[in-house]
Amino acid sequence: MPELPEVESIRLTLAKHTLGKKILDVEILWPPVAVSWFDRNFAELLKGRMIDSIDRRGKYLLINLSKGLTMIVHFRMTGRLIYYTEKQPVDKHTHIVFFLDDEGEIHYSDVRKFGRIQLVPTQEAIKIPSLAKLGPEPLNESFTFDKLGQRLANKKCKIKAALLDQRTIAGLGNIYVDEALFRAGIHPGKSTNTLKVSEIILLYNSICDTLTEGIKAGGTSFRDYRDADGKKGLFQESLMVYGRGGKGCKVCGSLLVRGKIAGRTTVYCPTCQK
Ligand SMILES: [Zn+2]
């Protein structure tokens, strides 16, 4: 599933090609993916609108269109939004094609079909329930280690579960939680109410660093992820634990443990993470 760095990479690459472009037409090949708040047809409402700006909130992409409409894209497991400079054939996984006034096309495709694109009034976008409940953006200046500490103090659960919960912080998923906990030297099964201030500071720094490096690398392409140029990210080459269960720790050489914590596959180092 695209996490914060992947959605941010899609935002950056899509904005590079499409800002200021007009949507001339829209073809919907698999209707359930397109969800509209309006009585009028999704495709009809988009025709003639300009792509004004593209924002991100957690793992959601917000494509702001002229005259007050926003498309909220939630990629879920395997959603992809790719820009092509010219006409591009569709395949069985292409669900929506947006035709732009530069003869380019944006294709939304999704093998697993869990992703959705919601069309909402721009002023309502951040108020829809799935966005309204999101915790702070970890890379915003206003997010400090104090705030992280306060949010964790309100929970009594395993740290892995707390960080996966989008109400604690927005944008982290299985990859970046495992990586951030490894860098902080914190065992994923540790209870949030036993964390010392020094551990919260380490965790805060490791979350910010891991996400920032993930964005710089264009995201992690472990399986399906591609940016809006159709390119893979490179962060998988820097992963310390995610996807490396049973292999040697890059720091101490111990065999990395792969188990289930908070209901999710979790990889950690039994020596480096206490
Ligand atoms: Zn280790």
pLDDT of 218 over the 90 cut: yes
The pLDDT of 177-203, averaged and rounded, is 97
pLDDT at 247: 98
Q: Are 145 and 201 in contact (CB under 8 A)?
A: yes
Task: Using pLDDT thresholds of 50, 70 and 90, give the confidence band for residue 40.
Answer: confident
Contacts of residue 146, Cβ cutoff 8 Å, sequence gap at least 6:
none
Among 132, 165, 195, identify where a domain stops.
Answer: 132
Do 88 and 202 sit in the same domain of this protein? Answer: no
Among 78, 99, 132, identify where a domain stops.
Answer: 132
Does 274 map to a domain? no
Do 127 and 204 sit in the same domain of this protein? Answer: no
**Given 3, 6, 8, 179, which residue is catalytic?**
3
Do 34 and 100 sit in the same domain of this protein? Answer: yes
CATH assignment of the domain containing 68? 3.20.190.10
Q: How many domains does the structure of the chain reveal?
A: 2
CA distance linking residue 229 with residue 162, whole number of Å:
33
The pLDDT of 166-193, averaged and rounded, is 97
pLDDT at 37: 86
Using the mean position of ligand 1's atoms as its centre, give its distance from the Cα of residue 249 in Å.
5
Using the mean position of ligand 1's atoms as its centre, give its distance from the Cα of residue 62 in Å.
39
pLDDT at 199: 97
Do 149 and 219 sit in the same domain of this protein? Answer: yes
Amino acid, res. 201: I
Contacts of residue 39, Cβ cutoff 8 Å, sequence gap at least 6:
none
Do 54 and 113 sit in the same domain of this protein? Answer: yes
pLDDT of 212 over the 90 cut: yes
- 4 — phi, psi (to 5°)? -50, -50
Do 149 and 124 sit in the same domain of this protein? Answer: no
**Residues with C-beta atoms within 5 A of ion ligand 1:** 249, 251-252, 254, 269, 271-272
Using the mean position of ligand 1's atoms as its centre, give its distance from the Cα of residue 250 in Å.
7
pLDDT of 224 over the 90 cut: no
Does 100 map to a domain? yes
Q: Are 268 and 241 in contact (CB under 8 A)?
A: yes
**Given 231, 250, 258, 264, which residue is catalytic?**
264
- Hey, how many other C-beta atoms are within 10 angstroms of the C-beta on 39? 6
pLDDT of 23 over the 90 cut: yes
CATH assignment of the domain containing 194? 1.10.8.50
Using the mean position of ligand 1's atoms as its centre, give its distance from the Cα of residue 269 in Å.
5
pLDDT at 44: 94
Do 110 and 196 sit in the same domain of this protein? Answer: no
The pLDDT of 160-189, averaged and rounded, is 98
Quickly tell me which residue has 């997010």 as its tokens: 143
> Is 244 an active-site residue?
no
Side-by-side strand order, sheet with 60-65: 34-36, 116-121, 69-74, 60-65, 51-57
Does 128 map to a domain? yes
Task: Using pLDDT thresholds of 50, 70 and 90, give the confidence band for residue 92.
Answer: very high
Q: Taking the CA of residue 25 as centre, how many other CA atoms within 13 Å lie in the half-sphere pointing to its CB?
A: 3
> Is 2 an active-site residue?
yes
Q: Which structure tokens are listed for 113? A: 């079909």
Does 138 map to a domain? no
Mean pLDDT, the chain, whole residue set:
96
Using the mean position of ligand 1's atoms as its centre, give its distance from the Cα of residue 151 in Å.
28
pLDDT of 30 over the 90 cut: yes
Does 273 map to a domain? no
Task: Using pLDDT thresholds of 50, 70 and 90, give the confidence band for residue 119.
Answer: very high
Q: Are 48 and 23 in contact (CB under 8 A)?
A: yes
Do 149 and 112 sit in the same domain of this protein? Answer: no
Using the mean position of ligand 1's atoms as its centre, give its distance from the Cα of residue 161 in Å.
22
Using the mean position of ligand 1's atoms as its centre, give its distance from the Cα of residue 191 in Å.
20
Contacts of residue 145, Cβ cutoff 8 Å, sequence gap at least 6:
200, 201, 204, 205
pLDDT of 1 over the 90 cut: no
Q: Which structure tokens are listed for 221? A: 């392409």
Does 139 map to a domain? no
The pLDDT of 36-46, averaged and rounded, is 89
Percent of the chain with pLDDT over 70: 100
Task: Using pLDDT thresholds of 50, 70 and 90, give the confidence band for residue 39.
Answer: confident
Among 104, 132, 160, identify where a domain stops.
Answer: 132
**Given 49, 57, 59, 160, which residue is catalytic?**
59
pLDDT of 32 over the 90 cut: yes
pLDDT at 140: 97
Task: Using pLDDT thresholds of 50, 70 and 90, give the confidence band for residue 215.
Answer: very high
Do 126 and 188 sit in the same domain of this protein? Answer: no
**End-to-end Cα distance, the chain:** 28
pLDDT at 263: 94
pLDDT at 93: 96
Using the mean position of ligand 1's atoms as its centre, give its distance from the Cα of residue 83 in Å.
41
Does 79 map to a domain? yes
pLDDT at 229: 95
Using the mean position of ligand 1's atoms as its centre, give its distance from the Cα of residue 246 in Å.
12
CA distance linking residue 64 with residue 111, whole number of Å:
25
Do 123 and 210 sit in the same domain of this protein? Answer: no
Domain boundaries, position 240 = 145-268
Does 140 map to a domain? no
**Given 2, 5, 138, 188, which residue is catalytic?**
2
pLDDT of 11 over the 90 cut: yes
Do 127 and 38 sit in the same domain of this protein? Answer: yes
CA distance linking residue 44 with residue 222, whole number of Å:
36
Strands (E), the chain: 23-28, 34-36, 51-57, 60-65, 69-74, 79-84, 94-100, 105-110, 116-121, 257-261, 264-268
CA distance linking residue 256 with residue 42, whole number of Å:
48
> Is 3 an active-site residue?
yes
pLDDT of 90 over the 90 cut: yes
pLDDT of 223 over the 90 cut: no
Do 201 and 236 sit in the same domain of this protein? Answer: yes
